[in-house]
């Protein structure tokens, strides 16, 4: 799965030695030379950055999302539940690629001091899942309809070093790391009646420290750190860190978020550039050129993985997707890339997210544009095969919702899609209405460029399935 050194030449990254030369024709302090590209410590540092990227990104995400005094919108203090109460509209800018299918109930936890107890109510057969991500972005547990059913259930989320006795009826879920991100999703149709039903379920979910379980617990107010940047996207903040600052934070995080046994070969390499679990970063072992250029090079390598991933990503009929999410093992490049472009991704058994940016294929492929009209046709009996639900969401070129007269940001069977005489179903993707008789099947597009994202929750595992390739998404056709 790893990209070869040849593929990652300076030229492949657009970072030739010449491009690193100052205007006066002298090599800059951070020049990338062929000599550097053949040094072992360069490649070790590049691998180290990629390996560390998810943990550092999770920490920055935690800081931003918990830097409030009380739960509000997409943020909540450490150890407290946040509850999104309605789907965002086209003015929403908190996160990219929002959804209009599930309402989130979420929390960041520190389980290094004591466990937290999560109590879920009876969901009455409603689709829901409550994935728990460790500090490395692996989904280590995922209670929900697919795995544990919809009856009431109670869990103690424990840290890697915890041992003890739990109350009767409480099941232990052990986190490999001190950081835990609970990112629960409950399906909701978005009608006033269904909003009320899901709000009731959200209010019945509780999260308390183990020491407070069974008591009338009131969480303390959260602390607000004015030095935390609450405006710049997390990815930009992480990418702006110098290599020394990046690895210094990484080493601090390693103290409570240990590597796995499978990471042993990587850990052995990291020691040569001053990274040892449990110890502070030894910056003297990192070359000055690497200090200046490493973040830029490493991030470019992650993005290159999207196009040269040896099968980690599929591109079929204009739809790109991966089924390698949620659990990464030693697939460090894949893990880093998903962190950068889709932090919080589920296991593929829970969700697959195909993205469409172009119609057609090969040299005939063209970016979607609202000046054109498109149709996506599902032949009879060939709707997305899922046990949960499916939808197609419309985004503008920056992955935000698109304002439209129907206030419709996604389309799915809950729109009561009309069926053609031959049993097929057409989805009309265009800026203007296709006509009142077809509006049930209309996904409104902006006037300019746009992006489509399909969500397949709890995809069927066989006959047919997107997971094994026995079902493929039809192409989106441009029509006159």
| DSSP tag of 349 | T
Q: Give the C-alpha separation, 33 to 15, whole Å.
A: 10
Mean pLDDT of all residues in 3-17 = 36
Helix (H) or strand (E) holding 154: strand 153-158
Average pLDDT over residues 47-60: 97
CB-CB contact of 177 with 139 (8 Å): no
Say if residue 2's pLDDT is above 60: no
So what's the pLDDT on residue 18?
28
Q: Tell whether the model's pLDDT for residue 11 goes beyond 70.
A: no
Predicted confidence at residue 480, as pLDDT, reads 72
For residue 286, name the pLDDT band (cuts at 50, 70, 90): confident
User: pLDDT of 78-125, one tens digit each?
Assistant: 999 999 999 999 998 878 889 999 999 999 999 999 999 999 999 999
Query: What was the pLDDT predicted at 9?
Result: 37
Instruction: Identify the pLDDT of residue 40.
Output: 64
Give dist(CA 198, CA 74) in Å, integer.
17
Q: Where are the beta strands (DSSP E) in 290-441?
A: 314-316, 319-321, 351-352, 355-356, 358-359, 366-367, 373-378, 386-396, 410-411, 425-430
Residue 38 above 80 pLDDT?
no
**Rounded distance, CA 87 to CA 103, Å?**
7
Residue 306, pLDDT score = 82
Q: pLDDT at residue 136 above 80?
A: yes
Question: Is pLDDT at 293 greater than 90 in this prediction?
Answer: no
Quickly list DSSP for 101-144.
SEEEEEEEEE-SSS-EEEEE---TT--EE--EEETTS-EEE--B
Instruction: Supply the angle between the helices 288-305 and 40-65 in degrees, to the nearest 10.
Output: 70
Specify the pLDDT at position 67: 98
pLDDT at 28: 44
Strands 171-174 and 153-158: parallel
Query: Nearest CA to 105 among 206, 185, 222, 173?
Result: 185
More confident residue, 15 or 352: 352
- Whole-number pLDDT of residue 34: 61
Q: How far apart are the C-alpha atoms of 422 and 471, rounded to whole Å?
A: 20
pTM for the complete prediction? 0.90
Can you give the C-alpha Rg of the chain in angstroms? 24
**Statement: residue 332 has pLDDT above 60:** yes
Residue 94: the pLDDT is 79
What does the alpha-carbon distance between residue 307 and residue 118 come to, in Å, rounded to a whole number? 40
Task: Find the range with the poorest average confidence among 111-125, 186-200, 331-345, 352-366.
Answer: 352-366
* Band of residue 349 on the pLDDT scale cut at 50, 70, 90: very high
- Checking if the pLDDT of 309 tops 70, the result is no
pLDDT of 70 over the 80 cut:
yes
pLDDT of residue 319: 94
**pLDDT category, 363, cuts 50, 70, 90?**
low
Q: What is the pLDDT of residues 152-202, one digit of tens each?
A: 999 999 999 999 999 999 999 999 999 999 999 999 999 999 999 999 999
User: Quick one: pLDDT at residue 20?
Assistant: 30
**pLDDT for position 288:** 74
SS3 216: coil
Can you tell me the mean pLDDT for 15-42? 47
Cβ partners under 8 Å of residue 362, min gap 6: none
Among 42-51, 86-95, 239-248, which stretch is predicted with the lowest mean pLDDT?
86-95
| Mean of per-residue pLDDT scores for the chain | 90
* Strand boundaries in 30-84, DSSP class E: 82-83
pLDDT of 287 reads 80
Query: Which residue, 60, 57, 51, is CA-closest to 298?
Result: 51
| 225-246: average pLDDT | 95
Determine contact, residues 385/428, Cβ cutoff 8 Å: no
| Residues 393-438: tens digit of each pLDDT | 999 999 999 999 999 999 999 999 999 999 999 999 999 999 999 9
Summarize the confidence of residues 229-254 as an average pLDDT: 95
Going along the chain from its start, the domains and CATH numbers come out as: 17-59+233-305 (1.10.3360), 68-212 (2.60.40.1610), 334-479 (2.60.120.600)
């Amino acid at each position: 799965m790893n990209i070869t050194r040849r593929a990652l030449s300076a030229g492949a990254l657009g970072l030739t030695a010449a491009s690193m030369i100052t205007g006066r024709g002298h090599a800059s302090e951070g020049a990338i030379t062929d000599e550097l590209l053949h040094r072992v410590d360069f490649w070790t540092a590049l691998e180290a950055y990629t390996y560390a990227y998810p943990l550092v990104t999770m920490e920055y995400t935690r800081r931003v999302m918990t830097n409030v005094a009380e739960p509000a919108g997409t943020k909540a203090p450490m150890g407290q539940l946040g509850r999104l109460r309605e789907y965002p509209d086209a003015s929403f800018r908190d996160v990219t690629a929002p959804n209009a299918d599930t309402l989130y109930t979420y929390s960041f936890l520190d389980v290094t001091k004591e466990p937290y107890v999560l109590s879920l109510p009876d969901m009455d057969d409603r689709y829901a899942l409550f994935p728990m991500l460790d500090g490395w972005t692996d989904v280590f547990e995922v209670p929900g309809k697919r795995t544990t059913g919809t009856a009431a259930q109670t869990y103690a989320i424990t840290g890697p070093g915890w041992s003890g006795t739990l109350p009767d009826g409480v099941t232990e879920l052990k986190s490999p790391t001190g950081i835990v991100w609970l990112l629960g999703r409950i399906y909701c149709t978005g009608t006033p009646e269904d909003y009320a039903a899901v709000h009731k379920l959200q209010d019945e979910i509780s999260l308390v420290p183990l020491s407070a379980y069974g008591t009338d617990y009131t969480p303390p107010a959260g602390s607000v750190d004015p030095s935390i940047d609450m405006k710049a996207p997390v990815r930009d903040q992480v990418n702006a860190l110098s290599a020394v600052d990046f690895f210094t934070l990484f080493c601090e995080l390693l103290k409570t978020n240990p590597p796995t046994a499978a990471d042993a070969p990587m850990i052995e390499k990291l020691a040569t550039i001053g990274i040892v679990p449990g110890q502070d970063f030894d910056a003297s072992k990192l070359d000055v050129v690497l200090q200046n250029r490493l973040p830029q090079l490493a991030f470019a390598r992650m993005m290159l993985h999207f196009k040269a991933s040896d099968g980690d990503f599929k591109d079929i009929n204009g739809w790109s997707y991966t089924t390698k999410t949620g659990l990464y093992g030693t697939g460090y490049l894949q893990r880093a890339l998903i962190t950068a472009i889709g932090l919080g991704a589920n296991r593929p058994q829970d969700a697959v997210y195909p993205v469409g940016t172009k119609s057609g294929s090969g040299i005939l492929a063209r970016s979607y544009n609202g000046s054109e009209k498109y149709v996506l046709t599902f032949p009879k009996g060939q709707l997305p095969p899922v046990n949960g639900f499916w939808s197609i969401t419309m985004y503008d070129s920056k992955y935000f919702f698109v304002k439209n007269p129907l206030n419709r940001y996604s389309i799915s069977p809950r729109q009561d899609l009309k069926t053609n005489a031959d049993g097929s179903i057409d989805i009309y993707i265009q800026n203007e209405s296709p006509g009142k008789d077809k509006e049930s099947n209309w996904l409104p597009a902006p006037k300019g460029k746009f992006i489509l994202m399909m969500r397949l929750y709890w995809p069927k595992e066989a006959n047919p399935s997107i997971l094994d390739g026995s079902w493929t998404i039809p192409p989106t056709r441009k029509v006159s």
